Structure 1
Amino acid sequence: MASLKEVRNRIVSVQSTQQITKAMKMVAAAKLRRAQDNILRMRPYAQRLNGILGNLTAQADSEVQSEYGVARLVRRVLIIAITSDRGLAGAFNSNVFKATNTLVQSRYAEQAASGSVTVMAIGKKAHEYFGKRGPLLGDYQHVFGQLSFDTVRQAAEQAMEGFRSGEYDEVVMVYNEFRNVATQIIRVEQLLPLVPTEAPAEAAATSNVDYIFAPSKEEIVQTLIPQSLKIQLYKAVLESNASEHGARMTAMDKATENAGDLLKELKLTYNRTRQAAITTEILEIVGGAEALAASR
């Protein structure tokens, strides 16, 4: 049985840990509110932009084609893995690692065998994990330190340039989609080449709109597509950012709860140990008194 001093030290240690987890939960909750507001504002814009783009491309003449929509034989692949800069968020980062590895093994096993799968790691944890397994495209391990559209735009432009130049035949994103504080869903989405997507209900209702193009249909389509791709990646990063804070808030709440349960057990152990020590001392005193009485 542990001594009273050892149990007291463990109680103090667990109490300190519990205070830290409580503080981290509060910080994550504050950051989550801002991140959730950002993604909720971004979603309608991204959906509407994709809907307009879908309508335009559906009505476009055969001459109006985008270089980002050219489907090629997939020989070289770029995977954009989006994680966080920090840990202590449960399985948030490891889920992205598992999903990426599963994607490579199931869909790109042939390309991986020939060394034709490249990873663009967004987030420090992804940079550390995939950096040990091969070369990375770009350095975006501190994107979340000052998260903005400009920092994500650079990553999107690098991926777009790689596809346009033929360096990559397919570009795929792996990230956590934010649903609520306790739920994050792993998403695997193809960024390039462009694939037809189901338009939202409001976009479908206006699919037959007769647009007036100025200056020209081709120029508008060629301008909207790159912008839409950048917005799509930025939206994925915002989804991941909100998911990270939700996952960390949930993990710290559970850690605080577990620390409370452990404190109850330690205090019970402390009381039992203390009671046993007091009982032993009383028995020793009584035994000594009886020994003195018998010697007289």
Structure 2
Amino acid sequence: MANLKEVRNRIASVNSTQQITKAMKMVSAAKLRRATDAIVQLRPYANKLNDLLANLSATLEDGASPYLQDREPVRVLVVVVSSNRGLAGAFNSNAIKTANNLIAEKYSEQLKAGNVSIVAIGKKSQEYYERRKYNVIGNNNDLYQELNFINASKITEAIMEGFINGQYDRVELVYNHFRNAAVQYLITEQLLPVPKPEPKKEELKTKTPKIEAQVDYILEPSKEEIVEQLIPKNIKIQLYRAVLDSNASEHGARMTAMDKATDNAGELLKSLKLSYNQARQAAITTELTEIVSGAAALGG
């Protein structure tokens, strides 16, 4: 009977866990809707603004804006966007792994010299890099409690100020791009200096840029003044978009992970109930055998 009690306890434990995973899946689904609406509304604006500035900055000189200055990357800052909580599958570990690969492949010399700094947006990446004695700047874990453009801009302004002052020569951004609830993929992009548009494949083959590739905009008051105002705003928008992308990806990954956990708990319950019934049947058979044997002994 001790085995029966143990199996009953395990069934009760798995039942309780399954209820928790179901509840977490429903909560993540509700949060995912709001997070998806936010990123879907921002993404067209962010992409269009980025394309506009790419066309304008391609015609400007390198000194037209301090955010366009391409320096030798002696000091590097890597912005890693993760989440504050776990139970989201490989969401956080993949983001951290991608950032580590980026540092190892492109900035290994800077890492050896101690010139790689980390801005962690999310408790999981913050704890990871602090444990490994990286130079982690600031604490941005409260951003997800009130995620909006103003709060995200405070982080971006500090990064932009560090770039202008020469504290960082290059700023890289690592985050999860949201595609749907089941699919998120890692993105690594250069935030500062603002990258110039890459030539298209046709232009690389012919080695002559196509005239129609550049869009002719009517600018007022002037190209330089507009770019001076729009480049800082675009940098803030791009970081905010990355955080919104990562936020939606987190809820999608957690919803998927909790759905799989619920299904696995159901399969485990079936196996445990089968084991319980088999053990119960064996116990009953043993008791009947003992009763019959005892009765036969008394009759003899």
Question: Do the two structures share a fold, i.e. TM-score over 0.5?
Answer: yes
- d(CA) in 2 for partners of 1:41 and 1:77? 32
1:270–1:170 CA distance, 2 compared to 1 (3 A): same
Kept in 2: contact 1:46–1:231 (CA 8 A): yes
Deviation by residue 1:202-239 (Cα, 9 ceiling, x = unmatched): xx97833241322x322211000000000000000000
Matched, 1:212 2:211: no
Q: Which residue identity is paired with 2:275? A: T
Q: Percent identity?
A: 56
Q: Which residue identity is paired with 2:169? A: D
Deviation by residue 1:74-107 (Cα, 9 ceiling, x = unmatched): 1110000000010000000000111111111111
Q: TM-score under structure 1 normalisation?
A: 0.93
Deviation by residue 1:111-170 (Cα, 9 ceiling, x = unmatched): 000100000000111111111122311210121111111111011111111111111010
- d(CA) in 2 for partners of 1:66 and 1:290? 102
Give aligned pairs, total: 289
State the partner residue of 2:205: none
Kept in 1: contact 2:53–2:227 (CA 8 A): yes
1:199–1:254 CA distance, 2 compared to 1 (3 A): farther
**Structural mapping, 1:96-245, within 5 Å:** 96-133=95-132, 134-197=134-197, 207-214=214-221, 216-245=222-251
State the partner residue of 1:249: 255
1:207–1:15 CA distance, 2 compared to 1 (3 A): same
Structure 1 stretch 170-179 or stretch 64-73: which is displaced more?
64-73
Root-mean-square deviation (Å): 1.8
Kept in 2: contact 1:178–1:243 (CA 8 A): yes
Q: Which residue identity is paired with 2:261? A: A
Q: Which runs of 5+ in 2 are unaligned?
A: 201-210
- d(CA) in 2 for partners of 1:199 and 1:4? 70
State the partner residue of 1:262: 268
Matched, 1:272 2:278: yes
1:205–1:36 CA distance, 2 compared to 1 (3 A): farther
Kept in 1: contact 2:18–2:261 (CA 8 A): yes
SS at match of 1:266: helix
SS at match of 2:188: strand
1:210–1:278 CA distance, 2 compared to 1 (3 A): closer
Structure 1 stretch 51-60 or stretch 24-33: which is displaced more?
51-60
State the partner residue of 2:296: 290
State the partner residue of 2:4: 4
Kept in 2: contact 1:75–1:111 (CA 8 A): yes
SS at match of 1:174: strand
- d(CA) in 2 for partners of 1:145 and 1:46? 23
- d(CA) in 1 for partners of 2:108 and 2:278? 59
Q: TM-score under structure 2 normalisation?
A: 0.92
- d(CA) in 2 for partners of 1:272 and 1:220? 77
Q: Which runs of 5+ in 1 are unaligned?
A: none
- d(CA) in 2 for partners of 1:166 and 1:2? 69
- d(CA) in 1 for partners of 2:199 and 2:180? 24
Structure 1 position 197, deviation (Å): 3.0
Kept in 2: contact 1:81–1:96 (CA 8 A): yes
Q: Which residue identity is paired with 1:49? A: L
